[in-house]
Structure 1
Amino acid sequence: MTKIFLIRHGQSEWNKLNKIQGQKNTILTELGEKQAAHMGNRLIEENIDIIYSSDLKRAYDTAKIISNIINKPLISSEAIREINFGQWEGLNTEELQEKYKNQYRTWTKEPDKLNMDGAETLEDLKHRGMKYIENIVKENQNKNIAIVSHGVMLKVIILGLLGVEMSHYKNISLNNVSLSIVECRTYNNVLTLLNDTSHLKELI
């Protein structure tokens, strides 16, 4: 059985400011670094074989901290970068509601229907991310794979692995440095853990 450990990056500077990050290369806060270390300690007993990460700094640095703790190889790729949010990147929620009121409402209620010039749709993201995920699963049969990425990308990957329509994107929430697990069993892919942050209790 192949087991996929899906990990969102640690708190970034723009997470603190409630800004849309997308593909902007923001950095981890001190808390984000501590969160990543706690995740690394949690994974020590999980027999991870390899770690794949987005190449954006907030995700890669999270993955690097984990890699150093569990002493496993790390490969980065732009294929599992966060969604390109186009003109939204760098804006906070209040600014989005003011400047892009109708589009923001679509994103919160029917995100699979949002289509903006210069930005990716959820279907675009699914095509980019799942192609990469399917390849690494084939390359790592019967191994434990850790994937460190971003909120939107990870939710799309989870839905893609489960064969669930993108219209259900709005029904999933993933916190910073949360752990979700999908087991690729012989008969089906099964979600066994979602958005777990129990390893962060000491930091709350």
Structure 2
Amino acid sequence: MRMATTILLVRHAAHPLLGKVLCGRMAGVELDGAGRDQAARLGTRIAVRKPDALFTSSLSRARDTAQAIADASGLVVQPCEALDEIDFGDWTGARFDDLEGDPRWVRWNGERAKSCPPGGEPMQQAQSRVVAGIHQMKTSYPHGTVVAVSHADIIKAALLWCIGLTLDAHMRFDIDPASSSALVLWDGGGRLMWMNEGVTA
């Protein structure tokens, strides 16, 4: 039997600015009550899978979600820069309603493979770093299960890489708060096992 690593890609739970503000790498974006409840239920579900390691983005909303998983599974939370949110540069902290009239925002959402947030990070660069991080997890846990707590666009970038689609296809599916998606990777290959499984499913 070939050795394989299961990577559970988990989006952080809900926070008060969700759907209103492009938070990006803003500091101090904490889970709200609904988010803490989501994270606790998510932790219980993930603990059943008996994961071997738990990594997280450095941002508060991801760390708090990861801590709920750690509390349920007995794991130690390990920071991983590869899982950090895209740097949205000048757009960080902007309201989505205000961005709608910006032609750069329209281009960013239609051409993720080529465009870049003003003063920020191209999604292609973000994809390269998260894929490199996933490969490192696979190397460290060649027949284990690893939980990686991150952000919607970063998870989308990883999934699109696995299934061989361009970043321009990022709008074809959603990654909801407190959802999990799973990749199974082995030397020379991998597959998507599930995507956007929510805590209420």
Instruction: Normalising by structure 1, report the TM-score.
Output: 0.90
2:72 aligned with 1:66: no
**Offset, 1:185:** 4.1
* Residue deviations 1:109-161 (CA, integer Å, cap 9, x gap): 22223224311111111122222221121111000000000011111112223
Which residue in 1 is equivalent to 2:53? 50
Which residue in 2 is equivalent to 1:195? 196
2:12 aligned with 1:9: yes
**Offset, 1:187:** 5.8
CA contact (8 A) 1:8 1:148 kept: yes
CA contact (8 A) 2:91 2:117 kept: no
Which residue in 2 is equivalent to 1:78? 81
Greater per-residue helix proportion:
1
Counterparts in 2 of 1:137 and 1:185: CA distance versus 1, 3 Å: closer
**Offset, 1:171:** 1.7
Give the distance between the partners of 1:138 and 1:11, measured in 2 at CA: 31
Which residue in 2 is equivalent to 1:23? 25
**Offset, 1:186:** 5.5
Query: What's the % identity of the aligned pairs?
Result: 24
Letter in 2 for 1:200: T
Instruction: Normalising by structure 2, report the TM-score.
Output: 0.91
Letter in 2 for 1:21: C
CA contact (8 A) 1:11 1:31 kept: yes
Number of residue pairs aligned between Structure 1 and Structure 2: 197
Moved over 4 A (4+): none
Structure 2 residues not aligned, in runs of 5+:
none
2:62 aligned with 1:93: no
**Offset, 1:36:** 0.5
* Residue deviations 1:166-204 (CA, integer Å, cap 9, x gap): 22222221000111111114563111111111x226xxx
2:133 aligned with 1:132: yes
2:160 aligned with 1:159: yes
Q: Secondary structure of 1:200's partner?
A: coil
**Offset, 1:2:** 0.9
Letter in 2 for 1:134: H
Aligned-pair Cα RMSD in Å: 1.6
Give the distance between the partners of 1:116 and 1:64, measured in 2 at CA: 30
